[in-house]
Amino acid sequence: MKPAYPFPKPFVWGVAMAATQIEGAATKDGKGESIWDRMGATPGKIHNHDTPAVACDHYHRYKSDFALMKKLGVKNYRLSIAWPRIYPQGRGAVNQKGVDFYHRLIDSMLEHGITPWVTMFHWDLPQALEDEGGWRVRGVTEAFSTYADTIVRAYGDRVKNWITLNEIICFTKMGYGGGDKAPNTNEGDRVVNQTYHHAVLCHGLGVRAVREYGGRGARVGLTDNSNITIPLMETPQDIAAAKQAFVQENTRILEPIYRGRYTTEYLRSAGANRPTWEKGDFDLISLPTDFLGMNIYTGFYVRAGRRNAPEIVPLTPNYPRADAPWLYLVPEAMYWGPRWVNEIYGVKSIYITENGAGYDDEPPVKGELFDIHRRNYVRTCLKELHRAVTDKVPVKGYFLWSFMDNFEWQDGYSRRFGVVYNDFTTQRRTPKLSAHWYQKVMKENRLI
């Protein structure tokens, strides 16, 4: 009997987490305030008044966390570096204690046989930079350039897989355009479009840093949470409509990165709210990358409407979703997302850098937690990913979000994405059913 749903060799399997969500030690050893520290300290902004001040206490427990990763068969870990731990004010003096912490962290990972995949920026803008204007102003790009140079120079001898930014839409549109992410303002399209431009410019500056200081074998890419469009029916008309819609939905990020420009359609629709840029910006933004990371949780259906124009099909109120209210369970996104970026932009190397499901898990009973619902959704997503690989879409790896329950941004500690349960009072880690299942998947390189 042939193994069910085998993945090609080599295929990278891993887990992912982010600094703000797990480290804690929010003021330890000279770390500066981030916009999420400020938001957590503002009444009414975070569920249950939770803050990232302690989180999973990974700052002090990273060695035991890596030992647990090793026990569960994890060989690749996507993490992020906290910008305000390196530059407490976003620029200026380097905090050597912060630099030294990540030296110890990376060394410990390698000692446990775990390969680091480092994200430069995962939403934790230093509050001092936000006070200067944050992503609204061009000064943030100059500060990011120095920060990127600093961390690549410091860790590039051991880190060979770099990700510039995580989910641009979440700290631009959802941060400044009325969403629920820090800094939690609502400033209109002109500001939002400018924050997008500064973000993709920082991506280019991160790529430049890796090319200049990453050393031999260094690779770099972006992690994007593209809006995934799925044909309602797999007919030529609906497929063409969904493909067209994918470009429209992701035009502010993928077009400048892969085509070195904004589309005429986007600039026309933006009108007076279009972003401004300087000569040479698009040369930096479109610097060649080695891969694209895709964070895929959900998607939406599209059909060919009048004159075959794309038409979004609304989901019914009883369509299944996780406890995270935004997470509609649409596993087909895992097939169509990678397919679109390969077909449209010619991306030759794709990694799923996040995928998972957020539920309000109850505590373990007698050391066990049967999160079958999470396991089943992830398994169905991986079936769709297997379909993509079978269709020659160049997917090279998959990182499960997340290794353990953590500070889930505006949802605080109520929403759990981890395959390892974390008791935030005792900081005791308990692997769930999904962790034991995923351990077998990674070991056997196939679905179980």
Q: What is the pLDDT of residues 346-363, one digit of tens each?
A: 999 999 999 999 999 999
The conformation of residue 441, written as its DSSP 8-state character, comes to H
Give the whole-angstrom CA distance, residue 364 versus residue 40.
Answer: 28
C-alpha–C-alpha distance, residues 330 and 224, integer Å: 18
Q: Give the mean model confidence (pLDDT) for residues 399-426.
A: 97
Per-residue pLDDT, 445: 97
**Locus of tokens 């620029």:** 91
Q: Is 142 a catalytic residue?
A: no
Cα separation values, 297 from 43, 55, 184, 326, 394, Å: 29, 23, 23, 10, 19
The answer to whether the beta carbons of residues 302 and 235 sit under 8 Å apart is no
| 23, 33, 130, 167: the active-site residue | 167
Tokens describing residue 335: 């097939």
Band (184; pLDDT cuts 50, 70, 90): very high
Q: Are 321 and 330 in contact (CB under 8 A)?
A: no
d(CA 214, CA 270): 37
Please say whether the beta carbons of 298 and 328 come within 8 A: yes
pLDDT digits (tens, 9 = 90+) for 25-69: 999 999 999 999 999 999 999 999 999 999 999 999 999 999 999
Task: Please report, for the domain that includes residue 322, its CATH number.
Answer: 3.20.20.80
**Whole-angstrom Cα distance, residue 205 to residue 236?**
39
Q: What's the whole-number average pLDDT of the chain?
A: 97
* Structure letter (DSSP) for residue 216: T
Is position 75 within any domain? yes
Q: Average of pLDDT values for 102-118?
A: 98
Q: At a CB cut-off of 8 Å and minimum separation 6, what does 337 contact? A: 226, 228, 294, 296, 299
Q: Sorting pLDDT into bands at 50, 70 and 90, what band is 2?
A: low
Q: What is the pTM of this model?
A: 0.97
**Dihedral (CA of 251, 384, 12, 326) sign:** positive
Token pair 């030296």 is found at: 103
Is it the case that residue 326 has pLDDT exceeding 70?
A: yes
> Which one-letter DSSP state was computed for residue 123?
S
Position 1 in a domain: no
Rg (CA), the chain: 21
Q: Is residue 244 part of a domain?
A: yes
- Rounded to the nearest angstrom, the gap between the alpha carbon of residue 137 and the centroid of all alpha carbons in its chain is 23
280 domain residue, yes or no: no
Buried b (16+ CB within 10 A) or exposed e, 388-405: bbeeebebebbbbbbbbb
212 is catalytic: no
276 in a domain, yes or no?
Answer: no
Report the SS3 class of residue 82.
coil
The answer to whether the beta carbons of residues 38 and 182 sit under 8 Å apart is: yes
- The total of structural domains in the chain comes to 1
Asked if residues 230 and 333 have their Cβ atoms less than 8 Å apart, the reply is yes
In a domain, 427, yes or no: yes
- The residue from 33, 130, 354, 384 that is catalytic is 354
- The Cα 250–Cα 281 span in angstroms is 19
Return the structure tokens found at 243.
């493909």
Are the C-beta atoms of 221 and 164 separated by less than 8 Å?
yes
Q: Could you tell me if 76 and 399 are in contact, meaning their C-beta atoms sit under 8 angstroms apart?
A: yes
DSSP bridge pairs for 351: 293, 397
Query: How many residues in total does the chain contain?
Result: 448
Q: What share of the chain in percent tops pLDDT 70? A: 99
CB 195 within 8 A of CB 250: no
Q: What is the pLDDT of residues 287-310, one digit of tens each?
A: 999 999 999 999 999 999 999 999
Say if residue 94's pLDDT is above 90.
yes
pLDDT digits (tens, 9 = 90+) for 241-277: 999 999 999 999 999 999 999 999 999 999 999 999 9
Please report which confidence band the pLDDT of residue 1 belongs to, taking 50, 70 and 90 as the band edges: low
First to last CA, the chain: 14
pLDDT value at residue 4: 86
- Residue 265, in any domain of the structure: no
Which H or E element spans position 423?
Answer: strand 420-423
- Distance between CA 71 and CA 443 in Å, rounded? 12
If phi > 0 it is left, if psi is from -120 to 50 it is alpha, else beta; for residue 278 that is beta
**CA nearest to 352, candidates 389, 319, 377, 323:** 389
> Is residue 9 a part of any domain in this protein?
no
Say which DSSP state 212 is in: H
The whole domain housing 112 covers 14-250+288-444
| pLDDT the model gives residue 141 | 98
